[in-house]
Copies of this chain bind each other. A is one copy, B any other.
């Protein structure tokens, strides 16, 4: 699936094509997240956003009351689907090993589908209340994976000679790095990248394990 600004906007805003002229809130978000990622949230002024949107500052305020609200809405585009993973049936049934694999695969999918929004989330510095709340929500998601690693070690499906905290960080390190290098028009498609990452993390690269 090609991942363009337009595709994003459609995915996030089912009503975007109803013929309303100008921007809707999701299209504003779409441009805002790119400006935030390019310049950093702190360095982005409402004036710079208006310039990139090609509209006036007062027109932005028609969509959102403040820069902080824009950030909060943009971060929700990453956090809501990440938080939804643990609500899924497959995150609640089966062995810890199966649930861990479901979590990792689902996280990779959200990351690829919402790449600019997850990039924004991962680069947060925590300077404002909106940022700190988002980071706390992200940590809560991370803790679910950390708990699954421990649970899978206890049930005997994950090796015991690894430190669960280090392993959780390595898992997120591997997955989160994708926001920096995954390209929808690259040589490997989203499903191949997902399968490749799962193959490495859970089964290892050595043929002797196959």
- A: residues with CB less than 8 A from B are 97, 156-163, 165-167, 169-178, 180-181, 187-188, 192-193, 196-197, 199-210
Contact = CB atoms under 8 A, between A and B. Distances in A.
A157 B196 CA distance: 16
Nearest to A179: B173
Contacts of A163: 187-188, 192, 196
Given A159-B207, A159-B210, A165-B188, A196 B170 contact: yes
A42 to B, nearest CB: 11
The A interface is mostly helix, strand or loop, or mixed, namely: helix
Given A174-B173, A174-B177, A200-B167, A206 B162 contact: no
A196 B166 contact: yes
For the complex of A and B, list the 3 residue pairs with the smallest distance between their C-beta atoms, beginning with the closest.
A173-B177, A204-B204, A209-B209
Contacts of A187: 163, 165-166
Given A165-B187, A173-B178, A188-B165, A204 B200 contact: yes
A182 to B, nearest CB: 8
Given A156-B207, A176-B177, 12 more contacts: A159-B205, A159-B207, A160-B207, A165-B187, A166-B188, A166-B196, A166-B197, A169-B177, A170-B200, A171-B200, A173-B180, A201-B205
A151 to B, nearest CB: 13
A157 B207 CA distance: 5
Nearest to A175: B173
A81 B13 CA distance: 49
A127 to B, nearest CB: 13
Contacts of A169: 177, 181
B200 A201 contact: yes
